[in-house]
Structure 1
Amino acid sequence: MKAFVVDKYKKKGALRLADMPDPVIGANDVLVRIHATAINLLDSKLRDGEFKLFVPYRPPFIPGHDLAGTAVRVGANVRKFKVGDEVYSRPRDLRAGTFAEMIAVDSADLALKPTSLSMEQAASIPLVGLTAWQALIEVGKIKPGQKVFIQAGSGGVGTFAIQLARHLGAIVATTTSAANAELVKSLGADVVIDYRTQDFEQVLSGYDLVLNSQDANTLAKSLRVLKPGGKLISISGPPDVPFAKSLRLNLLLRFIMGMLSRSIIKKAKARGIDYAFLFMRANGQQLTEIAKLIDAGVIRPVVDKVFPFDQTAQALAYVETGRAKGKVVITVDG
């Protein structure tokens, strides 16, 4: 099969189009022919080696964390899926590799594709959908009437999280550029802050939850818009000890992550705020619930551009500019 591979960890390193062996499926796997995939900044960070301590892919490896496609073979233990099913997924860590024509996916990470979406639209959903779901529902436990600040509202996670937060009954604030203000309002944002001309710290106060996706300076400022008892959930770091324990990392790595998060946790505790780092995980059941919301018209995908498969490297470079609205998708079989 054709696939794009990372030959070595290197910042801004090139992706190489290669002929790779067809995947071999295990008893719990489904072999999926990929019709579309999508770009995430996680792909850049893995290529650059930022996560190799706790997600240690061995080069050459195939990046890519979103897929929509068709089941072409199922393992002996698989009962939920059959050949011909249209599915979507964010494969689990160390089994990613959707910049390819086929992939073997653990059936627990798979769900039937939302029937109302095209393959390209469906491929835009898994990683950002699961991130928002796990941040707002699992960790944040959002309740109706609570105030939620979602940073970078016009990005991939932001466009999904705004819609999910509104569905949960939250009052939603977000940051974006003036050019994207109408987009985020159409998704359900109540308060829109132009990050180029306004300081969110001067506008917001008394919030119950912040979903941080930006740098360390923004993370620290986010503490000051939360009320005591509020939650600061970061998907951009720093990682903390509970995260290290969840991955069963050794004591040295737990110590390192504890030191990385020590400052923000200390500042959060001083304000009576709970800090949590979220590195989303694969979950087919949650994708099934997300598909129901999409087919019910509660959440819609936001797709910026669709690239052909042979332009995967250009698509990744475009996402790295930070200008994409929503997700950037790649048609694999077109």
Structure 2
Amino acid sequence: MRGVFLGAYGRSSVSHIGDLKINPPSANEVIVRIEAAALNPLDAKIARGDMKDWFPIRFPYVPGTDFAGTIVSVGGGVNDFAPGDLVFGRANPIAGGALATHIVIDAGRIAHRPASISAEVFACLPTPAGIALRSLDAMTRAPNETLLVLGSGAVARTAAALAGNAAYLVNSLDEFTAAPPAKYVFDTFGGELKQAALERLPEGGEFIGIVSPADDEYAQRRRIRASFEVLETSKAQLQDIARRMISGEFQLQPDHVASFDEAALVFDRYVARELAGKVVVNGYPLE
């Protein structure tokens, strides 16, 4: 069994592939043979040490949270899954483990996936679709009310698709100026766009961010409902994501695909901001 390992925080050339020891699953755990893993901005932030206070990891650390694969073993008390089941899921970021041939994970953090859609696609889903759904659910917005989605990444694209025809993707100040007035804003971008949106929101407007929180004092003074969402993964959420994906409510595809042999190099480039978009590692060795 093999994995990508980090031995310390760093902004470039920090990872290597090495041998991985996997313990038998404990109660309510399963072992998944990973077929594809997708990288997210949080993975890079953790590797650089930007999230030490939020996610205190221990070295050596196997990065990655989002994956798809096949169950090879189940622990006691696991009744919904069996060896051979196709699944996808999201590891706790503190534990990591997706950039490896196998992962031991709580059965409450995975869900079934169909064979008709590739592991590469399902590996892309847990974080972007999870935080998009969580943020949209936190709004009081009706389906026909205008929503501005700030950003153009996987989370933004997924949120705009799930929100329907009244959602507008905004990726620059020029696009923001041209966008229709809106009472609802979902921010995946931050910076100038975030500030412009907060300034234009009407009284009673709602702002949800996932990059950085809005200033509480400013929001209260403007009488804006502002919140900051953090992803919490559950089996029920993953099941909802799978259902919506299968029904065609949204689509996500990898922008770059690399083999497991290249995983350490690709991860280092991702951490160093030399590689952007939805990056997926596949071609895991069969062990």
TM-score relative to the length of structure 2: 0.91
State the distance in 1 between where 2:275 and 2:141 align. Answer: 28
Q: Does 1:230 align with 2:205?
A: yes
The alpha-carbon deviation at position 58 of structure 1 amounts to 0.9
Identity %: 29
Tell me the secondary structure at the aligned position of residue 224 of structure 1: helix
TM-score relative to the length of structure 1: 0.79
Counterpart of 2:81 in structure 1: which amino acid?
F
State the distance in 2 between where 1:275 and 1:132 align. Answer: 16
State the distance in 1 between where 2:257 and 2:21 align. Answer: 26
Contact 1:149 1:173 (C-alpha < 8 Å) held by counterparts? yes
State the distance in 2 between where 1:115 and 1:226 align. Answer: 44
Counterpart of 1:11 in structure 2: which amino acid?
R
State the distance in 1 between where 2:53 and 2:45 align. Answer: 12
From the superposition, tell whether residues 29 and 45 of structure 1 become closer, same or farther in structure 2 (CA, over 3 Å). same
Aligned to 1:107: 107
Counterpart of 1:140 in structure 2: which amino acid?
M
Aligned to 1:175: 170
Aligned to 1:199: 174
The alpha-carbon deviation at position 274 of structure 1 amounts to 1.5
Counterpart of 2:32 in structure 1: which amino acid?
V
State the distance in 1 between where 2:4 and 2:96 align. Answer: 12
Aligned to 1:86: 86
How many equivalent residue pairs? 283
Counterpart of 2:90 in structure 1: which amino acid?
R
Aligned to 1:161: 159
State the distance in 1 between where 2:178 and 2:275 align. Answer: 24
The alpha-carbon deviation at position 205 of structure 1 amounts to 5.2
From the superposition, tell whether residues 295 and 201 of structure 1 become closer, same or farther in structure 2 (CA, over 3 Å). closer
Higher helix share: 1
* Structure 2 residue corresponding to 1:280, chosen from 216, 228, 231: 231
Counterpart of 2:159 in structure 1: which amino acid?
A
Aligned CA RMSD, in angstroms, stands at: 2.0
Counterpart of 1:294 in structure 2: which amino acid?
M
Aligned to 1:266: 217
Contact 2:170 2:179 (C-alpha < 8 Å) held by counterparts? no
Q: Unpaired runs of 5+ in structure 2?
A: none
The alpha-carbon deviation at position 159 of structure 1 amounts to 2.1
Contact 1:201 1:225 (C-alpha < 8 Å) held by counterparts? no
Deviations 1:88-125 (A, max 9, x none): 00122423210000001111111001443101111111
State the distance in 2 between where 1:279 and 1:160 align. Answer: 16
State the distance in 2 between where 1:234 and 1:34 align. Answer: 31
State the distance in 1 between where 2:99 and 2:140 align. Answer: 34
Aligned to 2:259: 308
Contact 2:170 2:176 (C-alpha < 8 Å) held by counterparts? no
Deviations 1:235-291 (A, max 9, x none): 1114xxxxxxxxxxxxxxxxxxxxxx6xx2111222211221112111111110111
Aligned to 1:210: 185
From the superposition, tell whether residues 231 and 332 of structure 1 become closer, same or farther in structure 2 (CA, over 3 Å). farther
Contact 1:5 1:16 (C-alpha < 8 Å) held by counterparts? yes
Tell me the secondary structure at the aligned position of residue 17 of structure 2: strand
The alpha-carbon deviation at position 173 of structure 1 amounts to 1.1
State the distance in 1 between where 2:99 and 2:283 align. Answer: 8
Taking the TM superposition and a 5 Å limit, the aligned residue runs for 1:20-169 are 20-137=20-137, 139-153=138-152, 155-166=153-164
Aligned to 1:219: 194
The alpha-carbon deviation at position 332 of structure 1 amounts to 4.2
Deviations 1:61-83 (A, max 9, x none): 11101100001111101111111
Q: Does 1:294 align with 2:269?
A: no
Counterpart of 1:151 in structure 2: which amino acid?
L
Counterpart of 2:145 in structure 1: which amino acid?
Q
State the distance in 1 between where 2:240 and 2:112 align. Answer: 10
State the distance in 2 between where 1:286 and 1:39 align. Answer: 19
